[in-house]
């Protein structure tokens, strides 16, 4: 059973969604050979992000502008936004399901989500559209306090969330998705990119998109503390950099949809602990 790594460039710290704002959908990624300072690494660790492999990266956006920030595995942020992010409280263990500081709140709980169908390689394939529809169904059938209104088209600027295909990550041989966390105003992350999934089943496409939407409403990786699903035993994500969701297990949850790496035999469905977590938060 093969497992694939999620590449969520801006999905590992609450509110740090610079590369996922409406105007920030990227069409190119360039890497700079610039050393990450000790101060930045310490702050990464304090918010729960593994700083060992942190690099500086410049992303070129669709409008031609560029944004430079720090990237570590499945995390990306500008330095300015990173240093504004408060560190998380200690005192929790590191073997439970987790959420971010920020959640979707108030009037933002009815989320207009669009599957992008435009050109330039960014439009969703038929299989990806099916995966998105099934992912939205996963959330809506739970009858929780957030819901999604799904459309397909190109008018993404008027929506709360856009799901699109990223041809550049795919060209680089990546398989998975990119998402962010809710912002400090209680709005869900805006941009969700997926790529490299054409050879997988509708269920795998559903799984990846459901996972990325999960990040977008405030869920961390279930195994962020070890990335056990990726076979990366011993990797730390920092000291207590997430908030435990009561009622979820205290050991490794091998079937959670929010594991850091996904199985090629994934069903695309929530397990009972995922549902417990969603019902607790929403």
By the 8 A CB rule, do 67 and 90 touch? Answer: no
By the 8 A CB rule, do 86 and 16 touch? Answer: no
Give me the residue spans of the domains in the chain. Answer: 3-281
User: Between 126-140 and 202-216, two packed helices, what is the crossing angle to 10 degrees?
Assistant: 50
Look at residue 9 and tell me whether its pLDDT is greater than 70: no
Q: What mean pLDDT comes out for the span 150-167? A: 94
Q: Tell me: the pLDDT tens digits for 164-193?
A: 998 888 888 889 888 888 888 889 988 898
Local structure of residue 238 (DSSP, 8 states): -
Local structure of residue 19 (DSSP, 8 states): G
Residues 3-281: name the CATH superfamily.
Answer: Collagenase (Catalytic Domain) (3.40.390.10)
Q: Tell me: the pLDDT tens digits for 205-263?
A: 999 999 999 989 988 788 756 667 777 554 443 333 355 667 677 667 788 998 888 88
Residues of the chain with pLDDT > 70: what percent?
67
Q: How confident is the model at residue 2 (pLDDT cuts 50, 70, 90)?
A: low
Query: Which pair of tokens denotes residue 152?
Result: 């397909």
Q: How far apart are CA 158 and CA 163, in angstroms?
A: 13
> What are the distances in angstroms from CA 41 to CA 99, 140, 185?
22, 39, 26
Q: How far apart are CA 256 and CA 204, in angstroms?
A: 14
Higher-pLDDT residue of 6, 101: 101
* Cα dihedral 126, 258, 89, 74 sign: negative
Q: What is the pTM of this model?
A: 0.73
Local structure of residue 20 (DSSP, 8 states): G
Pairing between strand 3-5 and 147-153? unpaired
Q: How confident is the model at residue 108 (pLDDT cuts 50, 70, 90)?
A: confident
> What are the distances in angstroms from CA 195 to CA 6, 122, 123, 136?
10, 10, 11, 18
Local structure of residue 109 (DSSP, 8 states): G
Residue 160, CB half-sphere, CA atoms under 13 Å: how many?
A: 23
Q: What DSSP string runs through 124-172? A: PPHHHHHHHHHHHHHHHTTT-S-EEEEEEES-GGGSSEEEEE-HHHHHT
What is the overall mean pLDDT for the chain?
76
């Amino acid at each position: 059973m093969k497992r694939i790594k999620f590449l969520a460039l801006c999905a590992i710290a609450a509110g740090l969604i610079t590369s996922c704002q409406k105007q920030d959908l990227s069409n190119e990624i360039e890497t700079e050979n610039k050393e990450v300072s000790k101060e930045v690494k310490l702050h990464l660790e304090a918010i729960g992000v593994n700083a060992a492999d942190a690099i500086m990266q410049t992303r070129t956006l669709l409008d031609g502008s560029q944004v430079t920030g720090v990237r570590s595995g499945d995390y990306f942020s500008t330095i300015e936004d990173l240093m504004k992010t408060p560190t998380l409280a200690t005192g929790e263990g590191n073997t439970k399901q987790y959420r971010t500081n920020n959640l979707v709140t108030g009037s933002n709980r009815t989320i207009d989500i669009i599957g992008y169908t435009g050109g330039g390689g960014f439009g969703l394939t038929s299989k990806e559209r099916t995966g998105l529809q099934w992912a939205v169904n996963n959330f809506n059938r739970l009858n929780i306090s957030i819901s999604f209104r799904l459309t397909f088209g190109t008018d993404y600027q008027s929506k709360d969330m856009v799901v699109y295909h990223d041809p550049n990550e795919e060209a680089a041989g990546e398989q998975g998705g990119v998402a962010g966390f809710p912002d400090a105003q209680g709005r869900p992350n805006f941009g969700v990119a997926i790529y490299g999934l054409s050879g997988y089943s509708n269920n795998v496409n559903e799984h990846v998109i459901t996972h990325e939407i999960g990040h977008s409403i405030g869920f961390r990786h279930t195994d962020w503390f070890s990335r056990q699903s990726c076979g990366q035993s011993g990797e730390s994500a920092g000291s207590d950099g997430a908030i435990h969701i009561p009622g979820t297990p205290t050991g490794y949850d091998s079937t959670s949809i929010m594991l850091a790496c996904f199985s090629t035999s994934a069903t695309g469905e929530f397990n009972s602990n995922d549902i417990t977590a969603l019902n607790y938060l929403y």
